[in-house]
Amino acid sequence: VSDAENWFCECPKLYSGKLCQFATCDENPCGNGATCFPKSKRDAVCLCPYGRSGILCSDVLNITQPSFSGTDAFGYTSFLAYSTIPDITFYYEFRLKFQLANHHSSLQNNLIFFTGQKGQGLDGDDFLALGLHNGRVVYSYNLGSGTATIVSKPLDLTLNIHVIHLGRYLQNGWLKVDDQKNKTMSSPGRLVGLNVFSQFYLGGYPEYTPELLPKGSRFKNGFQGCIFDIQVRTSVNQEFKSPGTPEGHPNSGRSVGQCKDSPCSLIKCRNGGKCVEGGSTVYCDCLTGWKGAFCTETVSVCDPEHDPPHLCKRGSTCVPLPNGYTCHCPLGTTGTYCEQG
């Protein structure tokens, strides 16, 4: 915004500085490869990578049964990424068990696993995806000449743990859920091989939005709940194995907790703040007037977070007073809020 000699930048939310060059995450407080997300101009939230937890992701977390938290308030999903499953082209079988976090949002539109050609700059149609849609399990795959989709009957919500067994040989796929009847389907077109380059994603997806997933495999949210004992084999004569290299070890992940653990049990938010947890990610959501990692700092009348915001204009400086505030005007401006030339 220019005004003859005096120009200044009106910064968008979460940025500050004369040129709006400072973002909360520039001086990234998060450790160990966490994803930093600006919660406000002064506070960041650390979305913890696989095997870490805590406010700054500094605590080591041993995960034997991963728990996923769906899509967080910032639009990121929690996920695990394993190396590409070899020899999956013509035959595969998967087994897994899962437990839902709740019976409402965790059944609407949630990705359980995905592998495909798209993502990270790659393009192509082939994919294999499993998810939940309106209370049913949805299994779909595309070998490059069209999508096959198998939808289960609605899940029996009186069951605590659900079991899925699915497979494919060439174009023919099958899905068995809990005690439901086995369902089968054949993919259209002529192609018979599944060619995937991406890693094998469990519970969610690393990209910020699911739009990068190929059509037909777009589950809006990540999985909410625990996934146990996922196993795969790529030939009838093989033993089942956990994905990953070495076996059972993911390459990366975000906001994945240990099933039945609550990171909020270790954290006390003060002054009416509410602890929010998503897998291994944890932060305090402060009441109006408070800020900081544990809501222990007061928001001054001059802070950008203050509601209502102060009215000092044109690069003037807001200075708190015992009751209210005053604006220190730069040269060439005057008025209560430095609003006049």
Residue at which a domain ends, from 258, 289, 319: 258
- Segment 26-54 shows an average pLDDT of 82
- Segment 134-138 shows an average pLDDT of 93
Rounded CA separation 184/151 (Å): 10
Shared domain for 181 and 308, answered yes or no, is: no
Shared domain for 142 and 252, answered yes or no, is: yes
What pLDDT, on a 0 to 100 scale, did the predictor assign at position 292?
Answer: 82
Task: Specify the CATH number for the domain of residue 86.
Answer: 2.60.120.200
Rounded CA separation 275/291 (Å): 13
Rounded CA separation 61/84 (Å): 24
pLDDT one-digit tens code per residue, 165-208 = 999 999 999 999 999 999 999 999 999 999 988 889 999 888 75
What pLDDT, on a 0 to 100 scale, did the predictor assign at position 217?
Answer: 57
- The pair of structure tokens assigned to 329 is 């005007």
- The pair of structure tokens assigned to 140 is 């779909």
Q: What is the dihedral of CA 24, 29, 33, 37, to 10 degrees?
A: -30
Label the pairing between strands 127-133 and 109-116: antiparallel
Shared domain for 119 and 191, answered yes or no, is: yes
Shared domain for 316 and 237, answered yes or no, is: no
Q: Is the pLDDT of residue 41 over 80?
A: no
Q: Is the pLDDT of residue 149 over 60?
A: yes
* Contacts (Cβ under 8 Å, ≥6 apart) of 309: none
What pLDDT, on a 0 to 100 scale, did the predictor assign at position 20?
Answer: 62
Choice between 15 and 95, residue whose per-residue pLDDT is larger: 95
* Contacts (Cβ under 8 Å, ≥6 apart) of 331: none
Task: Specify the CATH number for the domain of residue 318.
Answer: 2.10.25.10
Rounded CA separation 183/176 (Å): 6
Rounded CA separation 243/240 (Å): 10
Residues 305, 311, 314, 319: is their CA dihedral positive or negative?
negative
- Segment 291-309 shows an average pLDDT of 84
Whether 162 is in a domain gets the answer: yes
pTM for the whole structure? 0.75
pLDDT confidence tier of residue 138, bands split at 50, 70 and 90: very high
The mean predicted confidence, pLDDT, of the chain is: 85
pLDDT one-digit tens code per residue, 247-297 = 999 999 999 999 987 778 777 888 999 998 887 788 888 888 888 888 888
What pLDDT, on a 0 to 100 scale, did the predictor assign at position 7?
Answer: 64
CA distances to 46, 98, 107, 164, 292 from 161, rounded to whole Å, are 31, 6, 14, 10, 39
Shared domain for 150 and 202, answered yes or no, is: yes
Shared domain for 173 and 96, answered yes or no, is: yes
Task: Look up the domain containing 123 and give its range.
Answer: 79-258
CA distances to 33, 57, 139, 182 from 293, rounded to whole Å, are 19, 13, 41, 50
Shared domain for 232 and 309, answered yes or no, is: no
Tokens 């965790």 belong to residue: 106
Whether 118 is in a domain gets the answer: yes
Q: Is the pLDDT of residue 313 over 80?
A: yes
Whether 57 is in a domain gets the answer: no
Rounded CA separation 261/283 (Å): 16
Shared domain for 247 and 306, answered yes or no, is: no
Give the total number of structural domains in the chain: 2
Cis omega (within 30 of 0) for bond into 66: no
Shared domain for 188 and 137, answered yes or no, is: yes
